[in-house]
Amino acid sequence: MTLLDLLLAFNQFVLGYFVVLNTVYLVLYAVSFVEVADHARREIFSGLPELFASAYSPPVSVVVPAYNEEVTIASSVRSLLTMRYPLHEVVVVNDGSKDRTLEVLKETFGLREADQPVRMQLRTAPIRGVYVSPTERLIVVDKENGGRSDALNAGVCAAGHPFVCFTDADVVMEEDALLRVARPLIESENVVAVGGIVRVANGCEIRDGRVVEVRAPRNPIAAFQVVEYLRAFVASRTGWSRINSLLIVSGAFGMFRRRDILNFGGLEVDTIAEDMELTLRFHKLYKKSGSKYRVVFIPDPVAWTEVPSTLRVLGRQRDRWHRGLIETLVRYRRMIFNPSYGSVGLLGLPYFLFFEFLGPLVELAGYVALVVSLLLGVLNTEFALLFFLVSVGWGSFLSLAAVFLEELRLRRYPRWGDLGKLSLYAVAENLGYRQLNTVWRVIAMVSYLRNKKGWGEMERQGFDDPEGEQTLRRM
């Protein structure tokens, strides 16, 4: 077989790869559409007011790790404290911040040092102090830096309620967020973890820790990410949840039973993908125990987060995300194709292996091979056009479908202009932005092989001053 024959065969392989990948996406979208439609119908009889008034709703501890979050911490904590729930507390863990995060909390909420020490049921970096608010249900744990997982473990130890909700200091939740995400846990003992949807806050008007007007971002980089988040959460995780193969309960918004976190040894501190690692550990341990269980995703619009607005920071984020994916797949490699783990082992993990992990490598190699083949005259124009339609055209259709699934069922963008803008970005992301993400993820593979560690830094503008100066924090 000549080199030209190999090029032709590889291009045909990549074309088939895109067909299979997009077909899987279509199936997930169909499942998600049914699930979101059912969820919307159930919401009519949701009984949220009754749940809010019920004395049987278990109390919730909202755990917030914070590292150099002085810009957003006050708004975030304020929004968490004012959520509608029968009884909840907020536990902020200051993970050795080098800025004024702790001082801002002390000044804003009048903190005083607590008399009672935290009972440390999990091993963490040393605790320097514990503070409480005299007027709010707020606990602040000040500790030496140990990383996000270490901070969450300290927060779980300090939590006083049976449900724990993990979120970030740069997240603003909607008023009924806790009610919605806690409901599956309240309604069924078989539900062991619930993930809520995370939305892009860039461009939205936020006052006093609340989103008062939803708008599409003016920044094109942030706007591309709105489409990505809709595709990943509304049109993908909803489908995986339906077949109990959800592999990630987002660290930005997820709820668990505190006893499970403690019984399973807390979050792993030697990983940069603690949310995926914890979710897979739940699947593994519950499957081994033979218990009936479910890991659930809620498609309600409940949590808003600020996303990167520069390519430099976005590239670092995607590098970390992909390294975390590789790390977790390696850690749980014995579950892949293992029928003992049901749909997780036979569907969820193989999908992430072939399409999320290896996908960027195949896609980038396919683009290079296509260009070389066209230059050498190996491929005709018809094949090149078919390749473009399958990889770019089909991808654009899927992104548009995610935007319109949001509009048909969840309707969070009231302006037609915003929907029009997002529709344009859904098409445009396949003409450069997607390819750039592919490059970043391939670079992440190299970074993983070189044993790169760390989270990198993230620029935050802050919710109350969206046009203000950006500050740096660790991601």
Class at the top of the CATH hierarchy for domain 51-349: alpha beta
For residue 117, what is the DSSP state? P
Q: Which residues contact 187 (CB under 8 A, 6 or more apart)?
A: none
What percent of the chain lies above the pLDDT cut of 90? 54
d(CA 346, CA 375): 40
Q: Which two tokens stand for residue 452?
A: 């790169």
Confidence of residue 107 (pLDDT cuts 50, 70, 90): very high
205 DSSP β-pair partners: 213
What's the pLDDT score for residue 255? 96
**How confident is the model at residue 164, as a pLDDT?**
97
Are 366 and 14 contacting, i.e. CB atoms less than 8 angstroms apart? yes
Q: Kind of pairing, strands 457-460 and 163-167? A: unpaired
* pLDDT tens profile 298-340: 887 678 888 999 999 999 999 999 999 999 999 999 999 999 9
Alpha-helical (H) ranges within 230-296 are: 238-242, 258-263, 274-289
What are the sequence ranges of the domains in the chain?
Answer: 3-20+354-449, 51-349
Kindly report the pTM of this predicted structure: 0.89
- Burial tier of 356 (Cβ tally within 10 Å: 0-12, 13-18, 19+): middle
Give the model's pLDDT for residue 338. 96
Higher pLDDT, 375 or 1: 375
Q: Please tell me the distance from the alpha carbon of residue 214 to that of residue 203, in angstroms, as a whole number.
A: 8
Mean of the per-residue pLDDT values for the chain? 87
The DSSP output letter for 334 is G
- The helices-and-strands tally (H runs, E runs) of the chain is 18, 14
Question: What is the per-residue pLDDT for 296?
Answer: 94
